[in-house]
Chains A and B, each alone.
Chain A
Amino acid sequence: MEKSCTLLVHFDKGTPALANEIKEALEGNDVEAKIEALKKAIMLLLNGDTIPQLFITIIRYVLPSEDHTVQKLLLLYLEIIDKTDSKGKVLPEMILICQNLRNNLQSPNEYIRGVTLRFLCRLNESEIIEPLIPSILANLEHRHPFVRRNAVSAIMYVYKLPQGEQLLVDAPEIIDRFLASEQDPSSKRNAFLMLFNCAQDRAVSYLFTHIDRIIDWGEQLQMVVLELIRKVCRVNKGEKGKYIKIIISLLNAQSSAVVYECANTLVSLSSAPTAIRAAANTYCQLLLSQSDNNVKLIVLDRINELKTSHREILVELVMDVLRALSSPNLDIRRKTLDIVLDLITPGNIDEVVMMLKKEVVKTQSGELEKNGEYRQMLVQAIYSCAVKFPEVASTVVHPLMDFLGDTNVASAMDVAIFVREIIETNPRLRVSIITRLLDTFYQIRTSRVCTYALWIMGEYCLSLSEVESGIATIKQCLGELPFYTASEESEAQDVSKNSKVVNSATVSSRRPVILADGTYATQSAALETAMSAPVLVQGSLASVGNLRSLILSGDFFLESVVACTLTKLVLRLEEVQPSKVEVNKATTQSLLIMVSMLQLGQSSVLPHPIDNDSQDRIVLCIRLLCNKGEEVKRIWLQSCRESFVKMLEDKKHREIEESRAMAQISNAQPDDLIDFYHLKSRKGMSQLELEDEVQDDLKRATGEFVKDGDDKNKLNRILQLTGFSDPVYAEAYVTVNHYDIVLDVTVINRTKETLQNLCLELATMGDLKLVERPQNYTLAPESTKQIKANIKVSSTETGVIFGNIVYETSSNVLERTVIVLNDIHIDIMDYISPSSCADVQFRTMWAEFEWENKVAVSTVIKDEKEFLNHIVKATNMKCLTPPSAMEGECGVLAANLYAKSVFGEDALVNVSVEKQADGKLSGYIRIRSKTQGIALSLGDKITLKQKGGP
Chain B
Amino acid sequence: MVVLAASVINKSGKVLVSRQFMDMTRTRIEGLLAAFPKLVGTGKQHTYVETDMVRYVYQPIEALYLLLVTTKQSNILEDLETLRLLSKLVPEYAFSLDEDGICRTAFELIFAFDEVISLGHKENVTVAQVKQYCEMESHEEKLHKLVMQSKINETKDVMKRKASEIDKSKIDRSRGEKGGFGPIQSMGSGRIESAFSDMSISSSGSGFGSGSGLGVTTDFDSFSTKAKGRPPSSATAPPKGLGMQLGKSQRTNQFLESLKAEGEVILEDVQPKVGQSKSVAPPLTDPVTLNVEEKLNVTLKRDGGVSNFDVQGTLSLQILNQEDGHIQVQIETGGNPGILFKTHPNMNKELFSNENILGLKDPNRPFPTGQAGDAAGVGLLKWRMQSQDESLVPLQINCWPSVSGNETYVNIEYDASPMFDLRNVVISVPLPALREAPNVKDIHGEWRYDARNSILEWSILLIDNSNRSGSMEFVVPPADSSVFFPISVRFSATSTFSDLKVVNILPLKGGAPPKFAQRTQLLTENYQVV
- Partner of A794 from the list B13, B47, B75 (CB cut-off 8 Å) is B13
CB of B133 to closest CB in A, whole Å: 6
Chosen A-B contacts, 30 in total, with CB atoms closer than 8 Å, are: A2-B26, A4-B20, A5-B26, A8-B19, A9-B18, A10-B15, A10-B17, A66-B205, A76-B107, A103-B208, A108-B138, A108-B141, A109-B138, A109-B141, A112-B136, A121-B119, A218-B124, A220-B123, A223-B1, A261-B75, A264-B75, A290-B77, A293-B46, A294-B48, A298-B76, A329-B45, A697-B71, A701-B69, A703-B53, A792-B30
Query: Which among A111, A190, A771, A790 is the interface contact of B133 at CB below 8 angstroms?
Result: A111
Flag whether B384 is at the interface (Cβ < 8 A). Answer: no
Contacting residues, chain A, for B144 (C-beta < 8 A): 108
Would you call B80 an interface residue if the criterion is a C-beta within 8 Å of the partner chain's C-beta atoms? Answer: yes
What A residues does B285 contact at CB under 8 A?
A: none
From residue A325, how far is it (CB to closest CB) to chain B in Å? 15
| Chain B positions within 8 Å of A149 at CB level | 118
Contact residues in B for A588 (Cβ distance below 8 Å): none
Please determine whether B45 and A108 come into contact, CB atoms closer than 8 angstroms.
no
Residue from A108, A157, A223, A264 in contact with B140 in the complex, judged by beta carbons closer than 8 Å: A108
**Cβ of B433 under 8 Å from chain A:** no
> What's the minimum C-beta distance from A651 to chain B, rounded to whole angstroms?
30
A292: interface (CB < 8 Å): yes
Q: Are A223 and B78 in contact (CB under 8 A)?
A: yes
Verify A185–B26 contact, CB threshold 8 A.
Answer: no
CB distance from B267 to the nearest CB of A (A): 31
Which residues in chain B, 1-30, are within 8 Å of chain A measured between CB atoms?
A: 1-2, 4, 7, 13-20, 22-30
The 8 Å CB contact of A10, one of B31, B103, B111, is B103
Q: Which B residues are CB-close (under 8 A) to A700?
A: 52-53, 71
Q: How far is the CB of B14 from chain A (nearest CB, A)?
A: 7
Interface on B for A, CB 8 Å cutoff? 1-2, 4, 7, 13-20, 22-35, 38-39, 44-48, 51-54, 57, 69-73, 75-78, 80-81, 99, 102-103, 106-107, 110-111, 114, 118-119, 121-124, 133, 136, 138, 140-141, 143-145, 204-208
Smallest beta-carbon distance B25→chain A, Å: 5
Q: How far is the CA of A261 from the CA of B73 in the complex (A)?
A: 10
In the complex, whether A182 has a CB less than 8 A from a CB of chain B is no
B72 touches A9 (CB 8 A): no
Residue A64 lies at the interface, judged by CB distance under 8 Å to chain B: yes
Task: Name the residue of chain A whose CB is nearest to the CB of B47.
Answer: A294
Q: Assess whether A683 is interfacial by the CB under 8 Å rule.
A: no
Q: In the complex, which of the residues B39, B124, B133 contacts A219, with contact meaning CB atoms closer than 8 Å?
A: B124
> Which of B7, B110, B143, B145 is in CB contact (< 8 Å) with A76?
B110
Q: What band does the interface of chain A fall in when counting residues whose beta carbon is under 8 Å from B?
A: 35 or more
Bound Cα distance from A3 to B24, whole angstroms: 8
Residue of B nearest to A115 (CB): B114
Which residues between 710 and 739 of chain A lie within 8 Å of chain B, taking CB atoms? Answer: 737-739
List chain B residues, Cβ under 8 A from A518: none
Residue of A nearest to B26 (CB): A5
Q: In chain A between 277 and 295, which residues have their CB closer than 8 angstroms to a CB of chain B?
A: 290, 292-295
Question: Contact: B48 with A297, CB < 8 Å?
Answer: yes
Given the contacts A111-B138, A294-B57, A740-B27, A8 and B15 also touching, CB distance less than 8 Å: yes
Q: Once the chains bind, are B4 and A9 in contact (CB under 8 Å)?
A: no
Q: Which of B20, B73, B80, B205 is the one whose CB lies under 8 Å from A5?
A: B20
CA distance A72 to B206 in the complex (A): 17
Q: Which of A8, A118, A190, A329 contacts B7 (CB 8 A)?
A: A8
Q: Closest Cβ of chain A: how far from B104's Cβ, in Å? A: 10
Q: For chains A and B in complex, what number of residue pairs have CB atoms within 8 angstroms?
A: 213
Which of B14, B18, B23, B123 is most buried by chain A, counting CB atoms within 10 A of its CB? B23
Point out the residues of chain B lying under 8 angstroms from A704, CB to CB.
24
Taken residue by residue from 913 to 936, chain A's Cβ proximity to chain B (1 for < 8 Å, 0 otherwise) reads as 000000000000000000000000
Flag if B140 contacts A110 (CB, 8 Å).
Answer: yes
A792-B31, A793-B31 given as contacts; is B75 within 8 A of A223 (CB)? yes
A-B CB proximity, top 8 nearest: A739-B31, A108-B144, A5-B26, A740-B27, A111-B136, A257-B77, A703-B28, A8-B18
CA distance A189 to B32 in the complex (A): 30
Interface residues of A in 256-275 (CB under 8 A from B): 256-257, 260-261, 264
Encode A323-340 as 1/0 by CB contact (under 8 A) with B: 000000111100000000
CB <8 Å contact, B32 and A295: no
Encode contact with B along A217-237: 1 for CB under 8 Å, 0 otherwise: 011100100010000000000
Contact with B along A90-119 (1 / 0, CB 8 A): 000000000000010001111110110010
* Contact assessment for B141 and A220 in the assembled complex, using a CB-CB cutoff below 8 Å: no
B45 near A295: Cβ-Cβ < 8 Å: no
Chain A neighbourhood of B205, CB < 8 A: 64, 66
Name A's interface SS. helix
Looking at the assembled complex, report how far the CB atom of B43 sits from the nearest CB atom of chain A, in whole angstroms.
10
Contact A904 B107 (CB under 8 A): no
**Additional A-B contacts beyond A8-B17, A331-B46, A794-B31 (5; CB < 8 A):** A4-B24, A295-B80, A298-B76, A703-B28, A903-B38
Q: Judge whether A110 and B138 touch: CB under 8 Å.
A: yes
Question: Hey, which chain A residues are within 8 Å of B57, CB to CB?
Answer: 294
B207: min CB distance to chain A, Å: 7
Query: With a CB–CB cut-off of 8 A, which chain B residues contact A332?
Result: 46
Given A121-B119, A220-B124, A7 and B20 contact (CB-CB distance below 8 Å): yes
> Looking across the interface, which residue of chain A has its beta carbon closest to that of B110?
A7
Closest CB of chain A to B238's CB: distance in Å? 37
Q: Which residues of A contact B47 (CB under 8 A)?
A: 293-294
Which residues of B lie under 8 Å from residue A886 when comparing CB positions? none
Residues of chain A in range 726-762 having any CB-CB distance to chain B below 8 Å:
737-740
Q: In the bound complex, how far is the Cα of B136 from the Cα of A73, in angstroms?
A: 14
B30 near A8: Cβ-Cβ < 8 Å: yes
| Chain B, residue nearest A740 (CB) | B27
Contact B22 A702 (CB under 8 A): yes
B30 to A, closest residue via Cβ: A792
CB of A905 closer than 8 Å to a CB of B: yes
Q: Which of B4, B28, B38, B111 contacts A904 (CB 8 A)?
A: B38
A211 at the interface (CB under 8 A from B): no
A6: interface (CB < 8 Å): yes
Q: Provide the residues of chain A in CB contact with B69, threshold 8 Å.
A: 701
- B contact residues around A220 at 8 Å (CB): 121-124
Q: Which residues of B contact A256 (CB under 8 A)?
A: 77
**Per a CB cutoff under 8 Å, which of B18, B19, B71, B124 touches A185?**
B124
Interface residue A773 (Cβ < 8 Å from any Cβ of B): no
**Is A297 a contact of B20 with CB atoms below 8 Å?**
no
Q: How far is the CA of A50 from the CA of B237 in the complex (A)?
A: 67
Least CB separation from B100: chain A residue: A12
Check A68 for interface membership: any CB of B closer than 8 A: yes
- Which residues from B are CB-within-8-Å of A218? 124
Given known pairs A2-B27, A108-B138, A771-B26, the reply for A739 and B72 (CB within 8 Å) is no
Q: With contacts A257-B81, A260-B76, A790-B27 known, is A109 near B207, CB below 8 A?
A: no
Contact of A114 among B1, B51, B133 (CB under 8 A): B133
Is residue A25 within 8 Å, beta carbon to beta carbon, of the partner chain? Answer: no
Alpha-carbon distance between A111 and B277 when the two chains are bound, in angstroms: 43
Cβ of A310 under 8 Å from chain B: no
Q: How far is A663 from B176 in the complex, measured between Cα atoms in Å?
A: 115
The answer on a CB contact under 8 Å between B103 and A4 is no
A121 and B39 CA atoms in complex are apart in Å by 33
Complexed CA–CA distance, A6 and B26 (Å): 8
What is the minimal beta-carbon distance from A692 to any residue of chain B, in angstroms?
A: 12
Residues of A within 8 A of B14 (CB): 10
Q: Does A698 contact B (CB under 8 A)?
A: yes
Query: Are the CB atoms of A153 and B118 closer together than 8 Å?
Result: yes
Q: Is B140 touching A701 in the complex (CB atoms < 8 A)?
A: no
Is the beta-carbon distance between A295 and B15 smaller than 8 angstroms?
no
* A186 beta carbon closer than 8 Å to chain B: yes
Find B107's partner among A39, A698, A771, A795 (CB 8 Å cutoff). Answer: A39
A455 within 8 A of B: no
B residues near A111, Cβ cutoff 8 Å: 133, 136, 138
Q: Determine whether the beta carbon of B140 is less than 8 Å from that of A109.
A: yes
The answer to whether the Cβ of A694 comes within 8 Å of any Cβ in the partner chain is yes
A385 at interface, CB cutoff 8 A: no
CB distance from B49 to the nearest CB of A (A): 9
